[in-house]
Structure 1
Amino acid sequence: MIYFIVFCIVVVLLIAVVIRTDKQSVDDSLSHWHQSLEGVRCTPREFYDRVRSRLEEENLSGLHIKVVAWHEGGIHTEKRDYLRIRRGDYIFDLCAAPVGNSFFVSSWLSNSRDGILEMLAPVPFIGWFARSLLHFFAPVTYFRVDSAAMFHALVHNAVLAEIDEMTTLTGSRIPDTLRRPVMREIYAAR
């Protein structure tokens, strides 16, 4: 009987881990940026294709780009397409959508959660042990922080360049004070 209970608990924990790792969370983000562009007319797919072209011109090795669909809320809600740009341990999700007479753009930089330890980290009790192992076997180093900053700058600058090209037609430009993303500590304990 006790083995059955332990088995059920393990199955429930594994299901929770799979569901949790199926999507990105605001809690996983390292940076966020958003901007509303007055008078810009474009579809999300057109914008994503333009950003993808700019990034492909950079010839950055290990760059993987695809469109993913995230639920707007829970699993019962509509889905919205995001452009997912991935390199190594980092993911950059880009959202674009027409809103009234404007065009909204939002971006999120996050850590990827590929390994079993990353998947277990959010699970109560087991997570503490998983985070301890991660800290020991995969410490946050200067190289990792620099890689995240480089990847973020490259993608964010490609997004800004595309926005600048689109807004020149409307005669507006995003002010310098609104061009910087809000960063969280990349080197904080996972």
Structure 2
Amino acid sequence: MFQKPLTEEAEVSAPTPQLDTPSPALRPHSPQNIAVTLCALGLVAAFFAPWARHSQFVSGFTFYHLVPGARLLWIIPVLALATFLRHRSPVARKWFGTVTAIAAWIGVGYFTVKAQSIGNPRFAWGATLTSLLSFALFAFSGERRIIAPIDLVARKLSSRKANVYSHSGALTPGIHFSVQEFYDTVEKAIRAKQWPGVETVRIHYTEAGVLSHKREYLRIIRQRHLFDICAATFGKDYFFSVREAEIPTVIDLRALFVLMVGLAVLFFTSIKTLGILFGPPAFLFLLAVIAWFLFNILKLGLTKMDSILMQLPVIGAIYEAWFRRDTYFQQDTRLVFLQSVTDLVKQHVEETTSAKGIRFLNCFERQPILDELYKRSRIKLEQESPKPATS
């Protein structure tokens, strides 16, 4: 696959020159980050809103005047602010958001019990808003399983639950490269391309088990399709590997919980608003309208809405698994993405090795995506045995 390092007399193919123009920056806020931010700041504001009325309006902040131990409710805005400050970290966002939502539910329940024990209060909109915002925060604080920093995707790649298109690699004997520089170069090239819906993330996979050494991979994602790229040492040598696969949608327990609670809240709200006679029909009609809308988002031309829903945890998994329909355009852009990333990675591997004086004879021995479909085959025709001559 490789020739030996070239001497000064030999001709070395120069790598493609890189322009000094800065690559465009990624968007600082994703739809998930915006949703978590709004929910967290909304919880802080709702904590100071009217929760109930005794002789006067009482908020979560002033409830300690009636119940001395109610200062524990102040943990709700503290956790909400911590969630807001850490919302860009996927791991911190998940745990802070989940703990904040659970603390808000417990706080509203504590407030309801204590308020009824000292009188017959009239509950205000602040407690309801706190419950709804905490529910939304719980939903948006989850993580899409395809970017989870654990070995879930690796386990699926090793099982039959993933459609693995190809797995290829290349070895450079006796020469080492900088892993971080290679990953940074690929990420900058992807940002410069401005491919819609494409994102990158660094993933750490264990070599054998939980206690074994971890390898850092660069993951390139678009919807459910991904490339896991690894550049690492192998003794005194160095290798590059690329896995190209599609991960099916995973609806986890968080998504099921959010779905059931959301339907229950919508059902009881319909009955409370329209009564026992008209509430259930209105609930079924609203469900039918929502389902029709989700089925026809792409037909209505709402591509941005489709992209936002795909990037949201919980909601995105449910939408993609049950409502989203595949189209010719989606299939075409999928093939373009797969081919473009493959060519880009190949180009940068060649540039990286050329800088060390190594010329590729064949960069990656790859299996094309449609190889089996268009593969030529030889068909052997059976010849009829000659009939015996009759005298």
Structure number with bigger Rg: 2
Given candidates 128, 153, 157, the residue that maps to 1:23 is: 153
1:165 aligns with 2:297: no
Which residue does 2:242 correspond to in 1? 107
Given candidates 163, 175, 178, the residue that maps to 2:361 is: 175
**Cα pair 2:229 2:242 within 8 Å, conserved:** yes
**Which structure has greater strand proportion?**
1
Q: Distance in 2 between matches of 1:39 and 1:141?
A: 47
Larger RCO: Structure 1 or Structure 2 (Cα < 8 Å, ≥ 6 residues apart)? 1
Q: Distance in 1 between matches of 2:214 and 2:187?
A: 21
**Cα pair 2:203 2:219 within 8 Å, conserved:** yes
Residue correspondence of structure 1 range 1-190 to structure 2 within 5 A? 22-24=152-154, 25-27=157-159, 28=162, 29-116=164-251, 142-176=328-362, 178-183=363-368
Which residue does 2:260 correspond to in 1? none
Q: May I ask how many residue pairs the two structures share in their alignment?
A: 151
Q: Relative to structure 1, is the Cα distance of residues 66 and 21 closer, same or farther in structure 2, using a 3 angstrom cutoff?
A: closer
Same amino acid, percent of matched pairs: 26
1:80 maps to a residue whose letter is R
Q: CA deviation at 1:100?
A: 3.2
Q: Distance in 2 between matches of 1:145 and 1:180?
A: 25
2:355 maps to a residue whose letter is L
> Structure 1: which 4+ aligned runs deviate by more than 4 Å?
136-145, 183-188
**Cα pair 2:169 2:365 within 8 Å, conserved:** no
Q: Distance in 2 between matches of 1:166 and 1:112?
A: 30
Q: CA deviation at 1:140?
A: 6.5
Structure 2 residues not aligned, in runs of 5+:
1-149, 253-320, 374-391
Q: CA deviation at 1:71?
A: 1.6
Q: CA deviation at 1:144?
A: 4.6
Q: Distance in 2 between matches of 1:73 and 1:31?
A: 22
**Which structure has greater helix proportion?**
2
After alignment, is 167-176 or 103-112 more displaced? 167-176
Structure 1 residues not aligned, in runs of 5+:
1-19, 118-133
After superposition, the C-alpha distances for 1:47-81 in whole angstroms (9 at most, x for unaligned) are: 11111111111111111101011121233322211
Q: Relative to structure 1, is the Cα distance of residues 38 and 57 closer, same or farther in structure 2, using a 3 angstrom cutoff?
A: farther
**Cα pair 2:168 2:365 within 8 Å, conserved:** yes
Q: CA RMSD in A?
A: 3.2
